[in-house]
Amino acid sequence: MCKECKNKKPYYITTAITYTSGRPHIGNTYEIILTDAIARYKRQQGFDVFFQTGTDEHGQKIEEKAKEAGVTPKEFVDKVAGIVRKNFDMMNTSYDYFVRTTDDYHEKQVQKIFKKLYEQGDIYKSTYEGLYCTPCESFWTESQLIDGKCPDCGRPVEKASEEAYFFNLQKYASRLIKHIEDHPEFIQPESRKNEMINNFLKPGLQDLCVSRTSFKWGIPVDFDPGHVVYVWIDALSNYITSLGFDADGNHGDLYRKYWPADVHIIGKDILRFHTIYWPIMLMALGEQLPKQVFGHPWLLVGDGKMSKSKGNAIYADELVHYFGVDAVRYFVLHEMPFAQDGTITWDLVVERINSDLANVLGNLVNRTISMQNKYFNGVISNPLEQEDIDKELIALALDTPKRVEKKMETLHVGEAIDEIFTLLKRCNKYIDETTPWVLGKDEAKKDRLATVLYNLLECIRFSAVLLSSYMPETAEKILEELSTSERDADSLKEFGMLECGHTVEGKPEILFARIDAKEFMETLEADRKKEEKAAKKADKKEAKKEDAPVEQIGIEDFTKVELKVGTIISAEKHPKADRLLVEQIDLGEETRQIVSGIAASFSPEDVVGKKVIVVTNLKPVKLRGVESQGMILCASNADDLDIVTIVKDLPNGTKVS
């Protein structure tokens, strides 16, 4: 370790680990951008930051998805973990460690943690009977359901009964309540704290199911191999296992240095797990609790939650393709309120780029450096004493780092960025007040012009140094154009650190060009149509097969077709084809994925729970990139389509003949 790092105060910050069930959208990606901004800011403030993110790779849903894809669970999560990491790298995030819950050390420590909790009486064996949501991997009571469905995701739940181990949460509930009340900063925002205490802790905690026997893709309970460790003990433990936590007490250097975490950054939908289950686990292990858990709001599309199944998801790589990395970072960081949900739409992104990035920031940098080149061949000087109007601008510049710090201390990141843009807007007003283009016409006022431009360039430097936490590439470009080496937080303690005698860049780069909103939306629509056209072309190929003349067959041909009764347990829209639904169908001894061309007549919600007849011995095929392992029987005419269903409640897997 370097001497400099030894003298810095450690700061440990984490994101929730991403579940490896598929490609993350911008709503998922927002979290790591937010965490990265905080981590970068803390580094700039002189902290020794350890920033961790990663992937959650076990569970029933992944086991099922891997089976549907025809690969092993490990092959499946290896691929998705690669996609997640590529997405995070694309957004220029500066994480120090990327954990995977399939890492050997993590798995071994989870087994040791489970065994320790069992041996000290915090975990016991019993039978679980209740309601289970597979997508969320959560158990619920009847009273917790909303309209009979999962309160988190709104999908149907299934009755479940299996032998399981349980964690005695109630044993630690009163201790946790006291900790939360004694540490008001522990759960943020404040509204989330009240929700956890009043809705979960005070009414009384149910013991937590912490093992499963109905699937195999998980960390085995080493003293009872029929069980795998259930998701929350597995996933939550990553925050300490990655640092070298050892359940036997032989902790690694990183753990001794960085734990407890300064802040866990998570989505508000998993706050209960991080502020109730996780602290109780740590109490049972005899370890310190994290200093703070921040449950950030959601990024909505219009007025609805972003979801792949709804077909309204916007992806980070799409946004970057059109707008660039820093424009996307700016938008999601600036537009997300502290405690309320934020909104993203394509036209809103264009509006913010034009108003804030092109007009306020880009225009200021471009015209200031252009004037410095025009009037002084780019050479920086500051020959005169400051006038009153200059002193007002300088006072704001010196105060801005303090204002940003105050907002960042409470994780009001969007408001911190507002403080920087307040300075930038004041610079634009200062240009209008001092009229440098008029000063440039009078040789006797050249010294005054040089001082005015110096004040602008120094304010731009202040802004760029502060923006480096939020828009690192843009900040670097600006500082390069200024040809300055004064780029750290200490250089903002006094005004006038921009080096005189240096020469700014000859021709400033256009940081953010204005976007014609109408032209952009037309381009976006044209791109969408190209995608739809390609999809329809692929669909027509499939349709040709369906329209081929029907040949008469003998009874021996019919007996080759295997038909079975199944229940559709989940469904979602095909990501690349509007007319297709992707269904998961319970066939008794197995669950299959089937892609059906019924989306014009049925929504995903319409088909869940239906008893259908499935052709089970068709060869698997890929329809627009998604594998289909059979076919459901339907009836149709020119005007309508219906699914062939079973009236009686025959067991799934019953043969039809």
For the annotated binding site for Zn(2+), the residues are 133, 136, 150, 153
Euclidean distance between CA atoms 240 and 117, whole angstroms: 16
Residue 161, judged by CB atoms within 10 A of its CB (0-12, 13-18, 19+), counts as: exposed
Binding site per annotation, positions? 133, 136, 150, 153
CA atoms within 13 A on the CB side of 284: 26
Tell me the C-alpha distance between 328 and 334, whole Å.
10
Looking at residue 594, its amino acid is I
d(C-alpha 220, C-alpha 142), whole Å: 30
Burial category of 616 from C-beta neighbours within 10 Å (exposed 0-12, middle 13-18, buried 19 and up) = buried
Q: CA 481 → CA 484, 501, 513, distances in Å?
A: 8, 14, 17
Concatenating the DSSP letter of every residue in 459-522 gives: HHHHHHHHHTTT-HHHHHHHHHHHT----SGGGGSSTT-SPTT-B--SS---SS----HHHHHH
Q: Cis (ω within 30 of 0) for the bond into 604?
A: no
**Residue 247: CB atoms within 10 Å:** 20
Exposed/middle/buried for 9, CB within 10 Å: 0-12, 13-18, 19+?
exposed
Kindly report the CA angle at 186 between 184 and 191, in degrees rounded to 5? 70
From first CA to last CA, the distance across the chain in angstroms is: 72
3-state helix, strand, coil in the chain (%, to 5): 45, 20, 35
**Distance between CA 160 and CA 226 in Å, rounded?**
17
- For residues 153 and 147, is the Cβ–Cβ distance under 8 A? no
Please tell me the distance from the alpha carbon of residue 87 to that of residue 95, in angstroms, as a whole number: 13
* Omega prior to 260 cis, within 30 of 0: yes
Cα–Cα distances in Å, from 511 out to 36, 63, 262, 362, 605?
Answer: 22, 46, 35, 5, 46
* 131 and 167 Cβ atoms separated by less than 8 Å: no
Give CA separation, 452 vs 227, 365, 385, in Å: 72, 14, 11
Whole-angstrom Cα distance, residue 585 to residue 588?
9
Contact between residue 266 and residue 238 where contact means Cβ atoms under 8 Å apart: no
